[in-house]
Amino acid sequence: MADVLLTLHGVSAGYASQAVFTDLDLSLHPGQFAALVGPTGGGKSTLLQLILGLLPCTAGHIQHLPQMTMGYVPQRAMIDWQFPVTAAQVVLMGRYRHTSYWPWPTPADRRAVAEMLDLLGLTPYAKRHISQLSGGQQQRVFLARALVARPQLLLLDEPTTGVDLKTQHDILHLLHRLNREGMTILLATHDLNTIASHVPWVICFQQGLIAEGPPEDVFTPTILRQTYNAEMVVLRHDDITVIANRSLTHPHVAQQGTLAHRGRSVRDSVRR
């Protein structure tokens, strides 16, 4: 366990009599940045809840480093946006394990919250009700709540879903910075194309582990077909990767020459 942050040994999980996955072996290493990908209903959120201790194992066990701290950013759809709380109060919730005076914040708690709001550009919105924030601001508030706890392991469930492209870029840029500073990150997402370009390790999950490794190794038509039960197109040109469901792909887009031409055009336009 010296170089392993968290390990699942023969773990099974489910709800009532319905198993979601069985006999799962999986490890996360300190400083790893991994994406968890797979179809809706495939068990990604269940796996995150299991790691967090919100769901018990029905078999097997989980080991992690002693006193390991975790932060969690849930799906936006799971949050009651009408709950009477401001952005700053949400972030403060992340401090409850760091104070013996909860729910009364200490000066240290207030400083930590203020610093995190500033880091994520949320200071002007600190006193706003969470329903008055944009989708990107809401996502950053819950990211701030997770980060103010100073976690060793950060778990995120679809953090870039429902936000604009700039917010997606900002979130991924921040996650890369946190990872460079030593934080281990596990990110559940449906966005294969973004992951192919921005995350160094991919875990393909469909009611169990299908494959894991660098994107260039696991994003293949065969592995993606096993993961999504659908025929997938994977096209690469230099540093550009495009992944699509074959049934949704127009025939002329799936031609290698066409993509190569478009890939050069996109890359050249970015460079200009």
Reported confidence tier of residue 67, pLDDT bands at 50, 70, 90: confident
- pLDDT, average across residues 54-65: 92
In percent, the amount of the chain with pLDDT more than 90 equals: 60
* Encoded tokens for 95: 């401090």
pTM of the model: 0.85
In 3D space, the residue among 103, 100, 104, 125 whose CA is nearest the CA of residue 114 turns out to be 125
| Cβ 36 vs Cβ 99: under 8 Å | no
Reported confidence tier of residue 268, pLDDT bands at 50, 70, 90: very low
In 3D space, the residue among 83, 91, 84, 86 whose CA is nearest the CA of residue 127 turns out to be 86
Q: Which domains does the chain have, with CATH numbers?
A: 6-215 (3.40.50.300), 230-272 (no CATH)
Question: Residue written as tokens 């559940």?
Answer: 188
Beta strand pairing call for 6-15 and 18-28? antiparallel
